[in-house]
Amino acid sequence: MNNPLKYAQIIKIQAKNLGFDFCGIAKAEFLEEEAPKLDNWLNKNYQGQMTYMSNHFDKRLDPTKLVDGAKTVVSLIYNYYPQKTLPENPEDYKLAKYAYGQDYHFVIRDKLRMLLKLLQEQIGDFGGRAFVDSAPIMERQWAKKSGLGWLGKNSLLLNRQMGSFFFLAELIIDLEVEPDTPLLKDYCGTCTKCIDACPTEAIVQSGVVDGSKCISYFTIELKDQIPSEFKGKFENWVFGCDICQDVCPWNRFSKPHLEPAFNPHPDLENMNKRDWEEITEETFNRIFKKSAVKRAKYTGFLRNIIFQGK
């Protein structure tokens, strides 16, 4: 069987069966339009200390350099919007919603590997690799190219049915599959709520974020002390930040996820500001044993909390 249209149908059915909310398909080719944008972003040092963003420039733009003979990029959306936003008291410290439960890298990678296995069983032998924020691949650009949404002013992918509280993942395969039509319209219009709401003014222009000013960067990626000029601007965020997503009108369409692994650790719901300020390494390791928050490490997490202090 050599039927690109049939392959697309099979991929989308299997993806849905594994819990992915949306699946889009694009031809694997060099992202010509993105090359100058990425080059300009890097030249302005918007990556800050994220030096890995400067590595593998060609690979970021060309999937055939990631997978030999790549013909297709399959982009997938997986919801993480929680049943309820934590904490209930707005004065307490906050974590980005994606970090409430278990580390998404492992949860989604397992599903991707299962998807690849099922597709190979159903279609036949073909090669490919699974990616979950784990390689130099421009996820949002590929998702846009495959018709899953458009890039908002905060640079995140926005989907008309569910907003932006979701993870992106990819399969790059050496199988020719019928591509979807890119979504060419920008549905943000004249809205600037995300730009106006960012307390560190990290969104420097529509679709361009200075990563070195982003609260997520400061609380996760930055290993040094947080610059003093940002004191009092974090609005109690101690790991990541959801401000530009929380104010986005498209996120009124967000619906709670159905993934048990993303439910918060029981202790997380009971933590108040004082508990966080007195957190021990033992408690940190217990609550965040399987969480993405481990990336900040106990010392980094404590630094973030102390920085918020009076």
Which residues are the active-site residues? 133
The answer to whether 64 touches 208, Cβ cutoff 8 Å, is: no
The answer to whether 219 touches 239, Cβ cutoff 8 Å, is: yes
The answer to whether 101 touches 264, Cβ cutoff 8 Å, is: yes
Distance CA 118, CA 50 (A): 36
Identify the DSSP state of 229: G
Dihedral of the alpha carbons of 109, 251, 215, 193, in degrees to the nearest 10? 150
Rg (CA), the chain: 20
The answer to whether 86 touches 264, Cβ cutoff 8 Å, is: yes
Identify the DSSP state of 100: S
The answer to whether 167 touches 81, Cβ cutoff 8 Å, is: no
Identify the DSSP state of 247: T
